[in-house]
Amino acid sequence: MLKIKRIKDGRKNVEQVKELLDSRSGDNLAKYRDVAADILKRVRESGDQAVLDYTARFDGIEFEASELEVTEIEIRAALKEVDADFIEALKNAAANIEEFHAEQKDKSWQKQKKPGIITGQVCRPLKKAGVYVPGGRAAYPSSVLMTVIPAKVAGVEEIIMFTPPDKEGKVSPVILAAAEIAGADRIFKVGGAQAVAAAAYGTETIPGVDIIVGPGNIYVSMAKELVFGQVKIDMIAGPSEIMIMAEKESNPAYIAADLMSQAEHDPLASSILVTDAPELIEKVEAELEKQIEKMSNKEIIKESLENFGLMIEVKNPEAAMEMINLVAPEHLELAVKNPFELLPAVENAGSIFLGEYTPEPIGDYYAGPNHVLPTNSTARFFSPLSVRDFVKYSGFIHYSKAALKEASNDVICLAEGEGLDAHANSVRIRKQK
């Protein structure tokens, strides 16, 4: 018998939901941060040797430095091992992801504000991007597509992938096939905080990059947080989350299936149903009992649902929306008859799935929008991984002599107001001529 927590709406209970989500990182965050900091320091000091030592310790593989990079021969061999249907599905997904991300491409622009004044913005791709692909619990070729394709669309010169080696010191053939289809330039068999360190600082064998993106476990996340500033990072993407808003008429079998889809990722994943129909909660619970037994990952799903699953009963759809915006879930399903009517009220969610024939996995694999998403309520201020993460901007300005003269009184006044006489002088000196 599954035991999933159940609460009613109300201010106090909102706090309870947030506490539940926060509790997933536990009290050990500082401990993980210290482990990651140690690894970063050693890789910074000892380069390849530290990477090799950590790979031996955490992944159980004794590599030489020359074996860290995946070779062309390994890639060709892997491609032969992967099922033709799988390759075809990867290619179809890649085409959808590329088409969606092409819309995010930003252009450089300039405008003549008035005669003698031109302002504009140059948009340039970053030169080198490091893409982390988790390899511990499960290998996700879909995450390869979701991280490499936006970098490619942005025009990044070199895309370097990092993923831990498996027990035989190899990278899963499906990961290599996805990397080939998406267009990764180099692949290193390095995982965890040591991969983040090598990407941030560079070693004798591994080139340093400008940005590190992609999901990973707590060591990867802590390391990304610690190298931020030295390099750019995308976000801290933690264990998966799904929140489903449903009504009396919603299909309980579909809701149960979708809650389980994210619970399957991790015992720390969180799956939440919010509804104004208490009878639906009972039906969904009955469906969960029924469907869970058929799942190959039922142990993880059960643990996740019992520890971090939640059924929330609210008075009306407005209260459900309030709850959603406070939780700011990674994935939100609006499993209702008229989802587009509710869309404008969603302020905080990483990715939104509209209608009962839009299950979350269509977004994980196929539709086009990115599946690397902010978790742990950070959808309040973070966005999905996008082409914009892989570019940077510079503003530019041109003033003619006459235009500067016209603006000079204002600028001199502002500079003097800040007590910065040399700034005022730089304008004044041109005005006098």
101 is catalytic: no
CB count within 10 Å of CB 212 equals 27
Tell me the CA end-to-end span of the chain in Å, nearest whole number.
Answer: 87
Residue 432 annotated in ligand binding: no
Q: Per CB under 6 A, does 353 bind ligand NAD?
A: no
Pattern 247-266, binding to ligand HSO, x per CB under 6 A?
A: ---------------x--x-
168 is catalytic: no
Nearer to ligand HSO by C-beta: 156 or 242?
A: 242
Q: Look at residues 256, 251, 253 and name the one whose alpha carbon lies nearest to residue 4.
A: 256
Q: Which residue is nearest to ligand NAD (CB)?
A: 192
Contact 369/355 with Cβ under 8 angstroms?
no
Q: Which token pair is 193?
A: 């905080």
Q: Nearest 5 degrees, angle CA 342-CA 344-CA 345?
A: 70
Q: At what angle do helices 298-308 and 278-292 cross, to 10 degrees?
A: 150
Tell me which residues in 290-349 interact with ligand HSO (CB under 6 A).
330
Task: Select the binding partner of residue 142 from Zn ion, ligand HSO, ligand NAD, none (C-beta < 5 to 8 A, by kind).
Answer: ligand HSO
Which amino acid, residue 161? Answer: M
Selecting among 180, 264, 313, 330, the annotated active-site residue is: 330
Residue from 48, 234, 364, 389 in contact with Zn ion (CB under 5 A): 364
Bridging pattern class, strands 270-275 and 232-233: unpaired
Task: Select the binding partner of residue 321 from Zn ion, ligand HSO, ligand NAD, none (C-beta < 5 to 8 A, by kind).
Answer: none
Nearer to ligand NAD by C-beta: 219 or 382?
A: 219
Q: Which token pair is 194?
A: 């040591």
Residue from 9, 40, 82, 135 in contact with ligand NAD (CB under 6 A): 135
Helix (H) or strand (E) run with residue 320 in it: helix 317-327
Nearer to ligand HSO by C-beta: 269 or 312?
A: 269
Q: Per CB under 6 A, does 164 bind ligand NAD?
A: yes
Residue 16 annotated in ligand binding: no
Residue from 371, 379, 391, 427 in contact with ligand HSO (CB under 6 A): 371
Helix (H) or strand (E) run with residue 14 in it: helix 11-22
236 vs 238: CA distance, rounded Å: 6
Three-class secondary structure of residue 418 per DSSP: coil
Least distance between ligand NAD and beta carbon 117 (Å): 45
Least distance between Zn ion and beta carbon 136 (Å): 16
Three-class secondary structure of residue 3 per DSSP: coil
Pattern 360-389, binding to ligand NAD, x per CB under 6 A?
A: -----------xxx----------------
Q: Per CB under 6 A, does 239 bind ligand NAD?
A: yes
Selecting among 287, 331, 356, 371, the annotated active-site residue is: 331
3-state secondary structure 200-244: HHCCCCCCCCCEEECCCCHHHHHHHHHHECCEEECCCCCCCEEEE
Q: Which token pair is 415?
A: 């500079």
Q: Which token pair is 214?
A: 């992609």
CB count within 10 Å of CB 148 equals 27
Q: Per CB under 6 A, does 24 bind ligand NAD?
A: no
Tell me which residues in 134-153 interact with ligand HSO (CB under 6 A).
140, 142-143
94 vs 111: CA distance, rounded Å: 36
Tell me which stretch binds ligand NAD (CB under 6 A): 172-180, 191-199, 296-304, 417-425: 191-199
Catalytic positions: 330-331
Binding residues for Zn(2+): 262, 265, 364, 423
Numbered residues of the known binding site: 132, 194, 217, 240, 262, 265, 331, 364, 418, 423
| Interacting residue ranges for ligand HSO, rule: CB under 6 A | 140, 142-143, 240, 262, 265, 330, 364, 371
Q: Which residues bind Zn ion (CB under 5 A)?
A: 364
